[in-house]
Homo-oligomer: A and B are copies of this chain.
Amino acid sequence: MVKQASSSRTQRRKPGRPAGSDGGETRERIVAAAIDCFARDGYAKASNKTIALQAGVTAASLYHYFDSKAALYRSTLQEVNAALIAAYREAARALPEASSMAQLCLGLEKVIELSRRRPGLMRFASASAGEIERHDELDWLDPDDASAFPDFFRQLLLRARRRGELGKGIDIDAAAKMLLACISGLASFHGSLSGPAEFARVLRSFERMLSGELMLS
């Protein structure tokens, strides 16, 4: 799941990494601990010390990979975004012949599954917009990462059109933005819900609405 970030802001490998240590695996452990600590304590209260402790590495080792708490937060945000988009892409790959609607619903099911398996990840995602607004030193994703979701929804709708599944007169640009707004709204709401079971019920209501089964007109 942990990808090499393409941005120029990515932390460069510094001299001094212990010979023979598996840098990729250590970095992965630090980011996994950061997801949980930022989700549990919030950005302001989380500390690099606690994160290093939870990852089972020294603070020096953490600083080898990430210059600052802000840099660690930024990498963590990138990882969480990548994990969520991966859920939708895996669903599309798992059902290569299915309708775009079926692929999207399976994507939502994979997000539900992810929220059960890694509750901290969805809590982190839910809180991220607020954290970025609150802390000047934090940034949104780089444009390349930020466009992953809009591109995914656009491609899904273009595929539906090619297959003759798109509703008559649907404006693909507007519909892709609408799906993004709804999915973002649903992710933000995760933090106000009682837990993974309620999150699953809310996402399944969305699947029913997508399928036109919420209310008769």
Interface residues in chain A, defined as those with a beta carbon under 8 Å from any beta carbon in chain B? 99-102, 129-130, 133-134, 157, 160, 164-168, 170-171, 173-175, 177-178, 180-186, 188-189, 193, 198, 201-206, 208-217
The 7 closest A-B pairs by CB, nearest first: A212-B212, A185-B185, A174-B201, A133-B133, A181-B189, A178-B205, A167-B213
Say how many copies of this protein the assembly contains: 2
Q: Which residue of B lies closest to A130 (CB)?
A: B133
A175 neighbours in B (Cβ, 8 Å) = 205, 208-209, 214
A216 touches B101 (CB 8 A): yes
A165 touches B209 (CB 8 A): no
Q: Given A177-B189, A186-B182, A209-B210, A201 and B160 touching (CB < 8 A)?
A: no
Q: Which residue of B lies closest to A105 (CB)?
A: B217
Q: Which of A102, A134, A164, A182 has the most CB of B within 10 A?
A: A182
